A and B are shown apart, each in its own frame.
Chain A
Amino acid sequence: MFLRQLRNELWKLFGKKRTYIGFGAFLIAQLAMLFAFQYSNWQKDTARLLAGNGYLAEQYISALTVAVIMLIPQILLLMPLYACLVGGDMVAKESEDGTLRMILCRPISRVRVLTVKWVAGLIFSILLVLALGGMALVLARIWFPWGGLFVFVPGPVRVFSVMPAWEGLAYYGGTHIVLAINAATMFTLAFMFSCFNMKPAAATVLGLSFLLVNLVMENMPFFEEYKEFCLTTHFKCWLLVFNQPLPWPDILKSLSVILGFNLTAFIVGTCAFFVRDIKS
């Protein structure tokens, strides 16, 4: 029964055109970035960096390297936008349209309705990440050769990693597990707001605002001590997956915070939804 209800929820979700906005936006952004990589100084700068560290640039300026570089800004900017857009719609849109009233005149509990919606949202988040990573790699492969993976991220995260092609692909796949958890958390955040009595746009904006405030606080020296409390700090743990050897304690700590937040947001949303009156 749960699976049938989940299938129906997915019909509803993927029947809407706006669900595909994120996929389309990723495609356009990636094409634009590829164009920039091909015709800018990026290749020369990267080759210089690799040569300075004793690596052959021809081996590591590859589809995998470009795909990872394309992911970084998209994860930071586009992913929250589209995960929150769908999360904010999930309950509030049905409430606004009036279809929620029609669902809740049936002998189904509110918790069950929300759980089905949430699981459908998690599936959407996973598909969004898979599409993002898959598209990035396929498009990068069209323009760049197959080769080793080179990841360099300066700053507090500090990642410098060089690995052969197939090992790099495995790690690239591994980061997508973490990215899917990140996307699901962004979705759940907007989903939580969506469970309150508010418009879908308000839920989306609140979700995005929360993430933006986290990001701003994280980057202000004044809040240095409180960085660990910022969700966006922990979202960056996907980049740590490229480090050799794998910094398991750091990754697991961040994942625990993210998963804990995810669960908390779902419980808060469920409680808010449970006590509210559903009226026309």
Chain B
Amino acid sequence: MQDLSLTVPRGEIYGLLGHNGAGKSTAIGMMLGQVWPSGGEVLVCGHNVQNDRQRALARVGAIFESPVFYDYLSGYRNLEILSYYSGPTPVARIREVIDWVGLTGREQSKVRTYSHGMRARLAIAQALLPDPELLILDEPSDGLDPEGIHEMRETIIRLQRELSLTILLSSHLLNEVEQLCTRIAVMNQGRKVFEGTIAEATRRHNWVRLVTDNFPEAVARLRAAGIVARDHAGHLIALSPGKSIADAVKWLVAQGFPVHEITPEEETLESFYQSLMEEQRVRLNQPLRLPTG
């Protein structure tokens, strides 16, 4: 980790993206006091996790990939056991979270009889026990089938809408992040390489799709004229600051280039991620790795 600071606005779903080994889980481990930083301090909700763990994590819930429980005990007993690590928890609160996740009627069954989906719901229930303000979800859809992934996605939306929770979601699934999050951070080699809203991410490069007879020559001339800053993939151009599409069209027509199509190109999160990682790769001269999904 190098100088990582994430600002998660209250009530929002914040996505943490990055490939395997980028440092997402280590960052989450540090936030929860499970991984010791070699230097510096980790503040959660304004409290130092290392020195003031009780206060820093008092209103924090967490779910990790592939939720695990004491399989030989009932779902209720699991929640009871976990609740007392946070502090005295009334029985009514345990019943309330069981009801909220829809496990009423199955809470006395042994966890080994639960399906993946039910385990995921039990994981949410345990995270809700301390009545959290901040919910940290580390790859919550990992190991779930498509139906389970859909159910988890709906539950995350419910958590935010009904309980007004602030959610930090670490995920490999770009489409999941795109659908759920309003703000994201992208990590690479332990560093934050982007932080902003999804809208800022997808409009980051201001790409314009240009279809003309001789794209390379047209781009070279547009560059020389100071209208285009860079190009990409044989059909995309990025306009120089202060230049508009109208300027580019006017200049191309004046130079005799037919303009078959010119239109602003909105990136998907996936294309944004790919181009961001490519930039990083060029900067760090390392092979490109993409997340799954």
- The residues of A with any CB-CB pair to B shorter than 8 Å are 1, 4-5, 8, 11-12, 15-17, 97-99, 101-109, 113, 275, 277-280
Contact = CB atoms under 8 A, between A and B. Distances in A.
A1 B88 contact: yes
Contacts of A4: 84, 88
A101 B34 contact: yes
Contact of B34 (A5, A11, A277): A277
Interface in B1-43: 25-26, 29, 32-36
A12 B34 CA distance: 22
A99 B61 CA distance: 14
Contacts of A97: 68
Interface residues on B, range: 35 or more
B68 A278 contact: no
Given A1-B87, A108-B86, A98 B68 contact: yes
B194 interface: no
A135 to B, nearest CB: 25
22 contacts: A1-B84, A4-B84, A11-B77, A12-B81, A15-B72, A15-B77, A99-B69, A102-B62, A102-B64, A102-B68, A105-B57, A105-B61, A106-B82, A106-B85, A106-B86, A107-B55, A107-B56, A107-B85, A107-B86, A107-B130, A278-B29, A278-B35
Contact of B64 (A16, A17, A107, A280): A280
A8 B81 contact: yes
Interface in B158-194: none
B195 interface: no
Given A16-B72, A104-B34, A280 B25 contact: yes
Contacts of A113: 85
Given A11-B73, A16-B72, A101 B64 contact: yes
Given A105-B34, A107-B86, A279 B29 contact: yes
A98 to B, nearest CB: 4
Nearest to A277: B35
Contacts of B62: 102, 105
A17 B72 contact: yes
Interface in B45-101: 53-58, 60-62, 64-70, 72-73, 77, 80-82, 84-88
B141 interface: no
Contacts of B36: 275, 277
